Each structure stands twice: as structure tokens, then as C-alpha cells.
Amino acid sequence: MTDVLPADPLISLRPWEAPEVTSWGRLPMNAVDRRSDALSLDGDWHFQLLPAPDAQVSDVWSSAHVPGVWTMQDTDDRPQYTNVRMPYTEFPPQSPAANPTGVYEREVDVPGEWTGRRIVLQVGAAESVLLVHVDGRPAGISKDSHLAAEFDLTDVVRPGERSVVRLTVVKWSDASHIEDQDQWWHGGVTRSVLLYATDPLHLADVSVRAGFDGELRVDCRVRDARGALPDGWYVSGELEGRLLAQDDEFDRVNVEDERVSDFLGEARIHTTVPEVRTWNAETPELYGLTVRLHRADGTVADTSQHRIGFRDVRIVGRDLLINGERVFIRGVNRHDFHPLTGRTVSYDDMRADLVLLKRFGFNAIRTSHYPNDPALYDLADELGFYVVDEADIEAHDHAHEIADDPRYLNAFVDRVSRMVLRDKNHPSVIVWSLGNESDYGANHDAAAGWVRRHDPTRPIQYEGAAKLDWAATDDCSDIACPMYAPLEDCVAHALSGRQTRPLIQCEYSHAMGNSNGTLADLWAAIESTPGLQGGFIWEFWDHGILQRVNDGRPVGRGGAGLYDNGVAAPGHRWAYGGDFGETIHDGAFIADGVVFPDRTPKPALYEHREIAAPVRIECFKHEGIVLGNHQHFRGLDWLTGEWELSLADGRTLTAPAELPDLRPGETAAVPLPFEVPRDGGEAWLTLRVTVAEDQPWAPRGTEVCVPQVRLRGPDAAEDAHVDRPVEVDGEGLLIHPLLAAAPTLSLWRAPTDNDELGGMAERWRAWGLDSLVRKVVSVREDGGRVTVEAEYAGTVGVVTHRQVFTRVEGGVRIDEQAELPEQFDDVARVGTVFETTPGLDLLEWFGQGPWESYPDRSAGAPVGHHSLPVDALFTPYLRPQESGGRHGVRQFTLSAPDATGLVVVLDEPRQISVTRYRAEDLTTAAHHDELMPRPGCVVHIDAAHRGLGTASCGPDTFPSYRIAPGIHRWSWTLRVL
């Protein structure tokens, strides 16, 4: 005989295939913030991974860390990356039979002093369905992988005794179909777990409204868990030491006689703060507010702590106004991500994310694509960010059917409303987003309807609702928030006369690999076109997971120190889709952020920093340099500066700068800080702007921007011709003691992600540009000049290339010309490539820098004298590609420690790169760790280099940054040091 166990209702109801079931036994979401009587349950829990939610739990336990995803711990269920498609074929609401289910269990000693108190279990987040048992009894169900769930355990546990808490987490569910965001799939308890106690008489919710005129309204909902009806309770507030009394005009005590509910009523505190310091992202002034619930005798039953900000959000016409100001939204999309812990992020990590964003000029975050950890909003309040708070709804693969599927109606309203209930008191949150890429249906309207009623103080946005016609008015999106809309379409819309709402792109400038081309052009248009107000770059992170190469496992929590400067330590790599053996995946599309997986900034961030510069050089006039304050709320007193004059002859002069006292929007001329020397050639004046006094996000001295103006153009220079021919070999290749490979023509760059996904690389390969075959046609000598004619044959055309070598004082001048046939329209580059002998490890240059720059991403790299070791020039994009370029280079020196080396002088500012890799090395490697540095340098000098654009997801570079066929000419001089 087998024992027939009573079926567990949490299992036998199969809630993982019931979209109507969003929770059971879960407490309403609220914004109460208590700081006492809490017991952290974080740490190592007993753990076992079942093959399916209805499989038997065994006696064999291992352990797993909470918070954490088991996919990054020691299990065989690994992370998997898909973008649009679901990782399995079952349709909503079904899930696959193989459905990893983590069972977490631990004992909890419930404090004896909690007798008589209300006891609540809070699970910060669990992915994707959470089933809770306490001492073997069902205690609750929750869905939404990115919001906390609370369960009242007062009648389940006994103070002074030990209880066993079991969290069963089902990985695949009906909810997965609306959590189909473009990111890694994981499973686990991703945020902290705690047990806390309150008085039975408690604050059930606190809603704060604080306007920028100083008006403060605090609404409290009050309950008594005993079902008792205590008389005479009241609330009070304390704002920065000032006591605030309950507003008795507002009497909402629940006075029904035969009450069955525990709801006692509502109370309000209402006041006006004189001379209020308002909150905005530049000066995020916060006030400490304590809300207290008192018993009739005045003793305190419950307390909630808040840091509030007085501010106002409104849309007037096509402007989004913060405190009446039309602010530019310089945003980024941010996922909860960490290369060691997946979806679990610590407070310190979140803070570091936001600090970095502040330092690079961002003032806004879209919490793509789900509510983030609560601490992120506290940090955004404190450091100053405008937040678009996004609900955890993305039905990408089955968008159309789900948006109107009534079985998912609950889930939509539940997810949006719980986010609003949780985050409503944060001044940083300025817009609610209904989710992402889920088409548009009745379920969205239902959710929007709830928000309109509950929080009329903030606009709503939803890209799916505003997709087809940005001018159409509907209830679901107060902002036209397209993704990756071409600039010309945005401008045309703004000029059309049909624009009814602000246009702020929810995603733009896709940062995959070497990208973010044309960012400066976009911002020039945004800042000069009424109706355009900014957007959110896609995205912050490259989601590379640190992986051991030998066994393919994620390194996990212990891996700190196994990476540096964007690069994984030897024997490790940044894994992307496919690297954990998954067959269904979307490859490197997960690596599309402005920072590397270890948060090392990519060069594109410097471009953004400059575009967002708070102080700028407007122009250079006779009376001096005109400076402007481009902030919205702040003066320039928190900044200081230094002038730097760079002359082509190698000199750099500096002088301290006094920044004028300018209000936002004002300009003023300041006198030129130098006598500019008459000689020295081309001259550039740079203002290095730094933080004058410590900011919460930047110590004094942190560089903020480097605006620049050219004071004088270059001198015309002629090299003295020496009447003695240079040496070339039988193939017409230059013979030179410092060159390991002679200068030849190059039309190929290792395709960037934009080149690949935008289809350009495919074309270039089809034309044979990756394997041009060189044939020398003639070698002639005439009056000391050696002329080499060569042909470079592709599959569909031949490029003729001519090099004229002239010996000059101390070196050789090379005049080159390449003629591209019509069919080679829009190639990657036209230029020279050569290789040096080993040992020349330092590059010094006069041109743009110091960081990597490209023709359509060079606004943030000032012209000056720069110097870097060759190894530091290369940017280690996760999937190797064209990298390390420097734009606008006039001259460079490559030298060995003993000061030997070579000098190259260019005929005009050119794109160059100096790396350890040939373009073919970068083309064939799939991960950075597969690259084998060459001992010498591979040097490119480009007559023309194609812009980067953002075509991996969005617009390509502009026609002006593309390369036309026909004749290209360039010249350079090579000398030995």
C-alpha cells in the first residue's frame, strides 16, 4: 500500500499555468517604510532543484544563497539568453514540462518579543512564480518577478518558537510569457527576504504628495489586524523637526457599525512648507518625513520614514515640465544586472551605476523593463535622476494575443498598480510606463485607467500605444515615446504642426559593440527643435556573464577580482548568448550597453558627457570666449575650470579659469586667458571643467566636460625633397627598417555589430573586400620619385591604387590615391595599413583623444597632445570588432622606451588606429579572450572611415559619414625618430 498524501493545493492547482491567478494570500502593496523589528532571512538556504514543480521533494539538499539566482550558482540549470522569442514552444499560458523549480527551505527562530504583534514575511522578488509554505502549510502565492510579496504569518508562526519557511520558485509559467524581456533567463529568489513585526494597529499605506509650491499632503490608510475597533487613533508627521498635526477637516474614519473588515479609515496631514527647497535632478533637495500612527493615549503604534522631494511634473502642450521647466531628458535604459550574480544587485552596485551615470551627464533612467530594486529609487531621489518607472510586462513573442487576452487582464492591472503603489512617493519617479513591447490592447487601457484614478499627478507612457501615430491622442500614452525613430522622422513630426505631445524616445542610440554614432547630430537637433526633448539610450549594461572557459560554468559570487578594465582574467570570458550550450539564443545582442560587464565605461560615454555639458563654449569673439550655462536649475558655482591651449608645435599652455556667475540659459564673454603665441601653428583652446566642491556623486576635481574651440588653423607645410629614391621591393612594397609589413591599401574593417546586423558586412564580404588580392602593375622611378601602381581585386570590381614615394629630409613622403569603382559604394574604409617591428609600445599624437573616436562619434574627444601605451588604445568589445580608432589625428609618434621609433605626419586630420591586431584577427574571433596580440603594431591611416551609426537596432549613420566610390587621395610622411 502506498500512502496517499493529501494533495498540496499550491501544487495541485498548477498556478504556474493560470494567468488569472496573480497571487493568493498576498498583502496589498504599499509604500510604508519601517526600519525596526525586522529579521533578515538572507544567507544560505537549504536548496534542491526539481525537474518540474509537481516533482517530489527529496531528502537530498544542497544549499543556495539568498538573494541569488540558482542559474548562477552550482546547478546544471544555466542562464539562457533570448531576445524576442520564448526559449520554448509552448503557447501562453502553458509552460514546458521540463520546468526547473527551486525549493528553498530554512528554519527561522521567531523572536519571543513579537508576541501579540503582527508578523509579516517579505520576499523581495522571486522568478517567476513563488509558492510559500510555512511549517508545511500553504501560506501564499505571488507572481511578478520584480516586485516584493508580503504574507501575513501572524496566525501561522509562534513567537519564541522555530518555524520552517519553504519558498518554492517555479521558473517557467504563464507569467514568463509576459516577462519576455530581452535579457538572460534566470530562476531564483533575486532580492532579500525578511520577517518583520508591527503592532496590530498599523499604517497600511502612506501616500505623499509634495508640490513645488511647498504644499504637502500625506494620506495614510490605517488598519487593525485584530479586527478590533480602537477608538481615538490619529496620525502625526514630523518634517525636518517640525511637527505636523492630522488634518481633522479630512475625516475618513470608517464608521460603519457592523464592521467585518480590518480597515479603520484614512487620515491626512496637510500643510504648506514656506520657502521650500524644491527637488530636481540637478539639485535633488530631500526632506526627511516621519509619519506616526498613534493610539488614543498618544503612544506610537507604527512609524514610516520617508525622504520626500517637493516637485511638480506636468505636460503643457508638447513640453514635459519639471517645476515649470522644459528639461532635456538625457536618459539611459537600465536593467538589474551583475556579471557575477545575474539579477541580484547590491546597494553598492546600484549606487555605483548611478554615480557613473551622473558623471557622464545622464539625468534620467528608464527602469527597463520592470520595477527595479526599491533602493534604486532611493538613490535616484538622492543623487538626482528623473525616472520612468516601468511595469514588468513584456509579452514580446506573443504580444498581439496577450494584450487582449482577458485571462491576462488581472496580471496587467496587478503589475502596473502594484508598481505605482510601491513607488508613488519617490520624487524621482516622473512617469509611469505600462511596460514594453506587448502590442497594445484592452489590458493596457485597464491598467492605464487604474493609474489615472490613483495617481493623477504623473503622466503615463507606453510605446506600444503611441507607436503608429505619435500625434494620435489616446488614454495610454501622454508622451510620444518611439524607439529608434530616425532623426529625420522626429524632426518632421515636430515641424508637422500635428504634434500634440512631447516626443521623448524610450530607446535610441543602440550601444551594441562599437556604436552610438551620430549622437552629437541627434542632440544638435533635439536642442534646436521645439517638441523634441530627449530620450533614453539603449542601454546601460553589456550583460556579459563572467564564465570559466574550461568548464563553461558561470563564476558566480566568488568572482570579484577576476576582471579588470572591461576584460575578464585569463581563463575567463564574458559569456553571451550561446555560451552556456543553449541552442535557442540570440548571441551577442545581449552585449549592447555603454559600459562593459564590470561597469568600465565604453568610449561612447565620453561622447555623451560632452553632449550633456552643463557649461559650453558658445563661440570665440573679439571680446573673448563666450560661455553658456546649459543647465535647467543650477548656477555654475559648483564648477571650476582650467584653460588649456594646445599648439601644433607640441606646446601646451595652461591657466586657471574663472567661471562667470551665470543662471541657467545665460551666456557671458570672458577674456582670453592667454597671449596666444604668434608661432606654433594650429591652436586649440580647451576648457577643462571640474567639480569645485564635493558632490554626492563626484569628489572635487572630477572632470565634467572639456568644451573646446579652435583659435587658429594649420600652417601650410612643404617637405624638402631629397633627390634619392626610396627602396621598394619587386612587388613595389616599401622597404623600411621599422616596418614589419609595408604600407598597402585597406578597405576592410573588422565588422562592428552595427556593420553585421545592419547588413553592411554581408555586402562587403560579397564584394570580396575582406580578401582583396593585390597585384603590382608597375614600378617607376622618375627624378628620385618612385611610383607604384597596383590593383586590388575583389569579386565584383577592382580598385586601382597608386603610391608615390618621395624621399624627404629624415624620411619618406607617401602620396596615395585609390580609385573605387562604382560598385564599391559605401565601404568601411579607404586607407593605408602597415605593421611595425616589435617594441614601439607608446603612441603620442596630436589630434582628438585621448579616448577612442570615430567620424560620427568625435564630439567628446578634444584636440590636443595625447599619449597612451599601445595596449591601452584598444577597446575590448565583447565580440571583437573594429576598435581603438582615433579621429582627427594630425601627427603621431610610435616609440620604444629608448626613444627610438617613428613619426608620421598626416596631410590633414585623419582617422587612425594603432593596435596589436589585424582586421582579420578581429574578424574571426568570437570573444576577446581568443585574440592573440601581435608583437608589433598594426597601424591604419584612413583617408576615409565610415561612421559607426547604430544599425544593429535602429538608424544607420548619416550619408555624410559614408564613403563614396571614385577617387580618394591622401598623403603622409614617415620619419625615424
Residues of this chain that interact with Mg ion (CB under 5 A) are 182, 396, 437
Q: Which residues inside 705-724 make contact with ligand GAL, applying CB under 6 A?
A: none
- Geometric angle at alpha carbon 578, from 574 and 581, rounded to 5°: 105
Nearest approach in angstroms of CB 726 to ligand GAL is 50
- Tell me which residue has its CB nearest to ligand GAL: 182
Which of 657, 682, 684 lies closest to 863 in space, CA to CA? Answer: 684
DSSP line for 329-357: EEEEE----BTTTBT---HHHHHHHHHHH
Query: Closest CB to Mg ion among 396 and 609?
Result: 396
Window 626 to 685, contacts with ligand GAL (CB under 6 A): none
Q: CB-wise, 104 or 508, nearer to ligand GAL?
A: 508
* Partner whose footprint covers residue 385, from ligand GAL, Mg ion, none (CB < 5 to 8 Å by kind): none
Give min distance, CB of 485 to ligand GAL, in A.
12
* C-alpha cell at position 117: 504583534
State the minimum distance, in angstroms, from the CB of residue 83 to Mg ion. 6
CB of 498 to ligand GAL, least distance (A): 25
Whether the Cβ atoms of residue 365 and residue 330 lie closer than 8 Å to each other:
no
Nearest residue to Mg ion, by Cβ distance, number only: 396
Selection from 419, 445, 444 nearest residue 432 by Cα: 419
- Choose from ligand GAL, Mg ion, none: what does 538 bind? Cβ within 5-8 Å by kind: ligand GAL
Which residues contact residue 527 at a Cβ distance below 8 angstroms, ignoring those fewer than 6 apart?
A: 328
CA separation, residue 316 to residues 13, 322, 796 (Å)? 50, 11, 56
| Total residues in contact with ligand GAL, by rule CB under 6 A | 12
According to the binding rule CB under 6 A, does residue 507 interact with ligand GAL? Answer: yes
Cell readout for 941 is 591611416
CB of 369 to ligand GAL, least distance (A): 6
* Binding residues among 682-701 for ligand GAL as defined by CB under 6 A: none
Cis peptide before 850 (omega within 30 of 0): yes
Count the alpha carbons within 13 Å of 119 in the hemisphere toward its beta carbon. 22
Q: Do the beta carbons of residue 134 and residue 153 sit within 8 Å?
A: yes
Complex with ligand GAL: residue 280 or 438, whichever CB lies closer: 438
The correct pick among 141, 189, 225, 483 for binding ligand GAL (CB under 6 A) is: 483
In the window 832-891, what residues touch ligand GAL (CB under 6 A)? none
| Shortest spacing between CB 369 and Mg ion, in angstroms | 8
- Under 8 Å between Cβ of 886 and 875: no
Element (H, E) at 288: strand 287-294
> For residue 537, which of 554, 557, 515, 559 has the smallest C-alpha distance?
515
Cβ at position 426, least distance to ligand GAL in Å? 23
Which of 13, 42, 61, 83 is the binder for ligand GAL (CB under 6 A)? Answer: 83
For residue 268, give the H/E element and its range.
strand 263-272
- Which is nearer to ligand GAL, 836 or 881 (by Cβ)? 881
Name which of 179 and 349 has its Cβ closer to Mg ion.
Answer: 179
Residue of 75, 101, 436, 443 interacting with ligand GAL (CB under 6 A): 436
Which of residues 79 and 849 has its CB atom nearest to ligand GAL in the complex? 79
Q: What percent of the residues of the chain are helix, what percent strand, and what percent coil, each to the nearest 5?
A: 15, 40, 45
Residue 816 contact, options ligand GAL, Mg ion, none, Cβ 5-8 Å cut-off depending on partner type? none
Residue 592 in contact with ligand GAL, rule: CB under 6 A = yes
Report the residue number, 439 or 507, with the smaller CB distance to ligand GAL: 507
Query: In whole angstroms, how close is the CB of 566 to ligand GAL at the nearest point?
Result: 20
Residue 953: contacted member of Mg ion, ligand GAL, none (CB under 5 to 8 Å, by partner type): ligand GAL
With CB under 5 to 8 Å by kind, the binding choice for 372 among ligand GAL, Mg ion, none is: none
Distance CA 513, CA 749 (A): 14
**Please, are residues 925 and 933 in contact by the beta-carbon 8 Å criterion?**
no
Please report, for residues 601, 746, 943, the alpha-carbon distance to residue 916 in angstroms, rounded to integers and kept in the order given: 21, 16, 21
Cα angle for residues 311, 313, 317 (degrees, 5° grid): 145
The phi and psi torsions of 522 (rounded to 5 degrees) equal -60, -45
Contact status: 182 vs ligand GAL (CB under 6 A): yes
Site for ligand GAL in 518-577 (CB under 6 A): 538
176 secondary structure, DSSP code:
G
DSSP string, 812-825: EEEEEEEEE-TT--
Among residues 518 and 640, whose Cβ is nearest to ligand GAL? 518
Residue (225 or 512) nearer to Mg ion, CB: 512
Closest to ligand GAL by CB, 182 or 389: 182
335/940 with CB nearer ligand GAL: 335
DSSP states of 82-150: ESSS-SS-PPTT---S---EEEEEEEEE--GGGTTSEEEEEEEEEESEEEEEETTEEEEEEE-TTS-EE
Give whichever of 84 and 97 is closer to Mg ion, judged by the CB atom. Answer: 84
Q: Does 437 bind ligand GAL (CB under 6 A)?
A: yes
Rg (Cα) of the chain, in Å, rounded? 32
Residue ranges in 944-963 that form contacts with ligand GAL under rule CB under 6 A: 953
CB of 510 to ligand GAL, least distance (A): 6
Cβ 750 to ligand GAL shortest distance, Å: 21
Binding partner of residue 31 among Mg ion, ligand GAL, none, CB cut-off 5 to 8 Å per kind: none
Cα 679 to Cα 662: distance, rounded to the nearest angstrom: 34
Binding site for ligand GAL (CB under 6 A): 83, 181-182, 369, 436-437, 483, 507, 510, 538, 592, 953
